Amino acid sequence: MVLKLYGEHMSTKTRSVAQICIEKDVPFEFVQVDINAGEQKQPENIARHPFGQLPVIDDNGILVYESRACARYIAAKYAAQGTPGLIALPETTGRDAERMAAYAAFEQAAHVEVCSFEPWAYGVAWERVFKIRRGLKTDEARLQENVQRLEEKLDVYEGILGKQAYLAGDHVTLADLFHLPLSTMLEERFEMDVFKPEARPNVARWWKDISSRPSWLAVKNGV
């Protein structure tokens, strides 16, 4: 049975999971859930995702929800195909010092994205994109605070990426790819030059690399 991806075709989280399927050469059937009609809160979806959210994958009866968990599952289960090294797991990489260091570097980078990037990037998107969609007024002070904090985090990224090609080392991982949906939204909807090539050449080089991947271009405008 082909893997099913339940989501909303323009959702940042849904597109993130779809991208990883493409990176790992995993065929999938996309099932559109109409969030405008509240379908994600209906019993059918609650049975898949108890919090009534999206996306969810169904891999031959194995249900996984939360986008990063979905991506990790796909990268781990299908580790032997598609783009190599998207995830580092001790069980598959071995436990010698070098491989455990690679595992630690991956987990570290993955948590940097969750804790140091997403809160501020989402804060900008909330004030500048999502609030407007809901007919709410942008809090300019909060917006500028989020922009400033995001800029500060990207200054740290500049140092990290001056020493290595990607956040976890010398090859691309999920930690890099998880940045794509929100960052693209900020560039296109907020018209924010998130990665400022003149100020952060290493970040700009990294962004150009990951944002031009065929897997992202395939889902950038919708699954």
CATH assignment of the domain containing 52: 3.40.30.10
CATH assignment of the domain containing 123: 1.20.1050.10
**Is 174 in the same domain as 115?**
yes
**Is 63 in the same domain as 23?**
yes
Of 120, 127, 141, 133, the closest CA to residue 194 belongs to 120
**Is 66 in the same domain as 112?**
no
**Is 124 in the same domain as 210?**
yes
Tally of structural domains, the chain:
2
CA 35, CA 54: separation in Å to the nearest integer?
A: 9
Q: What is the pTM of this model?
A: 0.94
Which segments of 49-197 are extended strands (E)? 56-59, 62-65
pLDDT tens column, 138-176: 999 999 999 999 999 999 999 999 999 999 999 999 999
Query: Hey, CA dihedral for 72, 209, 23, 88, is it positive or negative?
Result: negative
Domain that holds residue 148: 97-220
Q: Which two tokens stand for residue 78?
A: 């299908």
Q: Where does a domain end: 15, 47, 78?
A: 78
Q: What is the pLDDT along the chain (223 residues), one digit of tens a residue?
A: 899 999 999 999 999 999 999 999 999 999 999 999 999 999 999 999 999 999 999 999 999 999 999 999 999 999 999 999 999 987 655 568 888 889 999 999 999 999 999 999 999 999 988 998 899 999 999 999 999 999 999 999 999 999 999 999 999 999 999 999 999 998 887 777 777 888 999 999 999 999 999 999 999 999 9
**Is 65 in the same domain as 113?**
no
Of 35, 20, 38, 28, the closest CA to residue 58 belongs to 28
**Is 102 in the same domain as 212?**
yes
CA 6, CA 58: separation in Å to the nearest integer?
A: 8
